[in-house]
A and B are shown apart, each in its own frame.
Chain A
Amino acid sequence: MLLGRLLVPAAAALAVAAGAVAATGTAAQELRIGYSADVPTLDPGNHRNRFAEGVILNIHDALVARTDDMAVVDELIEGWTQIDALTYEARLRRGVRFHSGDEMTAEDVKFTFDRLTKEGFMGGQTSPRKSLLGPLADTEIVDPHTVRFHLSAPWPILRAYLPFQQIVSKRFVEATGTEGMATHTNGTGPFRLVEWRRGEAIILERFDDYYGGAPDLPPVGPAGVERVIFRIIPESASRVAALLAGEVDIIDNLPVTDIPVVEANPATRVMTTNGTRSFFVDLNNAVPPFNDVRVRQAANMAIDRDLIVERVLGGLAVPLNGLISPQSYGYNADLPPWSYDPDRVRALLGEAGFPDGVDVTLDVDPANRENAEAVAAMLTQNGIRTTVQVWELNVMDATWREENAAGRNMRYRSWGDGALDPVGIFDPVLRTGGRGNFSRYSNAEVDALLAAAESETDVARRSRMYQDAQAIVREEAPLLFLWLPRDIYGVSARLSGWRPSPRGVIKIHDARVD
């Protein structure tokens, strides 16, 4: 009796609430994205975060854009000229408006790049994106629609790095302040910010006065949908459920294990693209046994990459014979893959003085433990007896920064490079003393090639230099090369016109929903 008196009204209330919620369907022309993380900020000049970039790119445009095959095309500019080795000139597109209605001029472009490159320009703080602009020293206004970029050293890839820098309005930033820029936006992009419900959602609406975007990236014109909602759903099982329930149209980071469910549902499907993050194992070149090139080569031949990709990664990764993505500029396609060869491994280990095999450790952080264990199991099977040690990331980092990496043997790791240019991955990881060089690899020839490539202005010659460096590295095997995972998305059947970007961001301009 008592139970009934208490529970019946409660149940009735819930049923009403449930009905009300279920009845609220998706409004027409509204695209919802199940996004796996909230963004730390919406300030285009104050982050180094891929999730932030993914949202910001839909609100702001840049001087140039990248096509899906990584060609660079004009976006907010109409012409690009090299004046000399240290000077480039950009002619701005006319009649481009910010969301506030202000017209974009050379003032805004200069301000944007000053904000990114000048020390302490953001209220005493220097932009964390400064290093993405290399030796860019100054930006000069030639006339209201022309700017010149002055470099302190030759840097031929300036244009290739401009898609990562979105143009902001000088007037708006000065009025809003650095702190305000974290939550307020005024871009030239296809969508304007309506509301950022922190931790919950970012709501955008179509900017009807949009100039149309890059002419070489059709369709040109206003965006295909009226409203976009980035819904923050960190748990992947919930993100998949939201897709299956029809609450969202695109989800990122679809787990390999959920692919069959999404494919089995008639209202949803899976889309993939090559990612930009290479996985590898640092081999400590400074201490035995990996100071011996034969042991390093043996390690590279002791792994059946195809098998691990097939069994552990669900077939959704590309085996690598080197550090960089096959999609990358300067990729050397002529180098043979590292094939799985247990006999050769035994022979090489014998030559190196380890006829009975060798005992080593593989360091890894908790997130990558499973894949590292798969690698360790195969190494062990072939005489490189590997013990996996799981570390807290901070402590592992600190240890590998010590002299000779404190004598550690191997570390499971990855390096992402959205620009798909060797300068962003090959250079830091393999150059002597590079900021990501934890294998302590050092080769004068490679260093010379990388230094020359840095200032080589001829695109083909520069590519050749990187390819030569890759050939040397292929032989010297400073790292145990692994694979490049594909980015996996789940999408609804009502979505059209959208393709996953190899840059790992979700651009919505072309998307439509029925």
Chain B
Amino acid sequence: MSPIKLLERLIQLGFVLFGISLIVFLMMEATPGDPVEIMLGDSLASAEQKELLRRDMGLDRPLVARYLHFVGNALGGEFGQSFFHRRPVADLILERLPATIELTLVAMVVAVAVAIPLGIIAAVHRGGLLDRLASVGAMLGVSMPGFWFGILLIMLFAVRLHLLPVAGRIGYSHEVPAVTGLLLVDSLIALQPASFLAALGHLVLPAVTLGLAMAAILMRVTRTAMLEVLSQDYMTFAEAKGLSRRRILVRHGLKNALIPTVTVAAIETGSLLGGNMIVETIFAWPGLGRLVVEAIFARNYPVVQACVLFYAVTYVLLNFVADVLYTVLNPKVRL
């Protein structure tokens, strides 16, 4: 990607982010009722607190001034106070973020680990039994709602077979010193293999539930890409050279087929964040998704506002990364 093109994309990105901030800001403005009452949600506040908040929100100032104030605060990581928790919103989000990142990353790994081998096998055995099974599986994976599939897994692996825990992030006898906030990493840093395994065990069901839909999509993408690659002349040429089939598939096939898969994976990671709300609620996972759901139920608008902004920005950035990644991996493509 040429520097000018990159700059162009960055400017576009700026506009998108501006639009997002505007929408999130107006979301609050457009909600009927007294903004102060809305901000306070179901929490009880004294008259002084309401007055203080009214002043802080600058409700007497014009809309544009308030918007600039909001953006300025947001850029500085200042999202106001959650009156329900009586703590700053930024603290609440930071506290919940590591759990969500850990779950998302593991779900992504699960999805990739399942999707790529299956996609390749389906392509290589095109039309065969394995291909058809994989296609049906992908269809199921995409169409099964997460809340249903999650409960199903819990009933089977936790209630019936007693193999895995129903919910939670780690057993309560484990004390893992926080370094990164990711329990898998922290338990390794602290050399606590038992804690690592406990954390991993708690991750299995939520990560599989969360990663399932992504795995299905990635599988289809890999299969299609692989089919296209398999029909290329260089593959026939490689075969003609007498290279082993495995070498052909991995060195010449997979390398090229992975380009669309990687970009789709980057974009899909954004949608994993949306899936988090459901999966985190089912598995009692103490992450951001659940914070949002709880905030919505408690009408805790400052938290909802900050989280929506966070999700939107993350999604847009991931899309940007996917675009860039695509050009890097495939020099033939120009943005």
Give A residues with C-beta under 8 Å from B: 1-3, 6-7, 10, 13-14, 16-22, 24, 27, 37-38, 40-41, 43, 46, 48, 119-120, 124-126, 128, 130, 179, 182, 197-201, 203, 229, 231-235, 237-238, 241-242, 244-245, 247, 393-395, 397-398
Contacts and interface: CB of A to CB of B under 8 A. Distances in A.
B121 to A, nearest CB: 6
Which residue, of B32, B172, B287, has the highest number of chain A Cβ atoms within 10 A? Answer: B172
B117 A6 contact: yes
Given A7-B117, A18-B201, A234-B281, A182 B154 contact: no
Contacts of B66: none
B192 to A, nearest CB: 12
Main secondary structure of the interface of B (DSSP, over half): helix
A39 to B, nearest CB: 9
B33 A247 contact: no
B231 interface: no
Contact of A2 (B49, B120, B155): B120
B72 interface: no
Contacts of B151: 237-238, 241
B286 A199 contact: yes
B163 A18 contact: yes
Given A21-B198, A125-B49, A201 B168 contact: yes
B197 interface: yes
A10 B118 CA distance: 15
24 contacts: A13-B200, A14-B204, A18-B204, A19-B163, A24-B173, A24-B198, A46-B86, A48-B44, A124-B48, A126-B46, A179-B86, A182-B87, A199-B96, A200-B168, A234-B290, A237-B282, A238-B283, A241-B159, A241-B166, A241-B167, A242-B166, A244-B159, A393-B299, A398-B32
B71 interface: no
Which 5 A-B pairs have CB atoms at the shortest separation, nearest pair first? Answer: A199-B286, A21-B201, A20-B197, A200-B286, A128-B44
Given A2-B120, A229-B172, A21 B85 contact: no
A38 B294 contact: yes
Given A125-B46, A241-B166, A199 B32 contact: no
Given A21-B198, A235-B282, A238-B283, 14 more contacts: A7-B113, A13-B200, A22-B162, A24-B173, A199-B286, A200-B284, A201-B172, A231-B284, A234-B290, A234-B294, A235-B281, A241-B154, A394-B299, A395-B32
Contacts, number: 161
Given A200-B169, A393-B299, A232 B286 contact: yes
A199 B96 CA distance: 8
B311 interface: no
A387 to B, nearest CB: 21
A38 B204 CA distance: 23
Interface in B207-262: 246, 249-250
Contact of A27 (B37, B38, B173, B250): B173
Nearest to B82: A40
A182 B290 CA distance: 20
Nearest to A46: B86
Contacts of B45: 128
B162 A245 contact: yes
B274 interface: no
Contacts of B99: 199
Interface centre among B34, B37, B84, B85 (most CB of A within 10 A): B85
A130 B118 CA distance: 63
Contacts of A24: 171, 173, 198
A508 to B, nearest CB: 16
Nearest to B52: A124
A451 B165 CA distance: 56
A182 B165 CA distance: 30
Contacts of B158: 241-242, 245, 247
Interface in B162-194: 162-169, 171-173, 194
Contacts of B46: 119, 125-126, 128, 130
Contacts of A235: 147, 281-282, 284
A3 B118 contact: yes
A395 B201 contact: no
Contacts of A393: 299
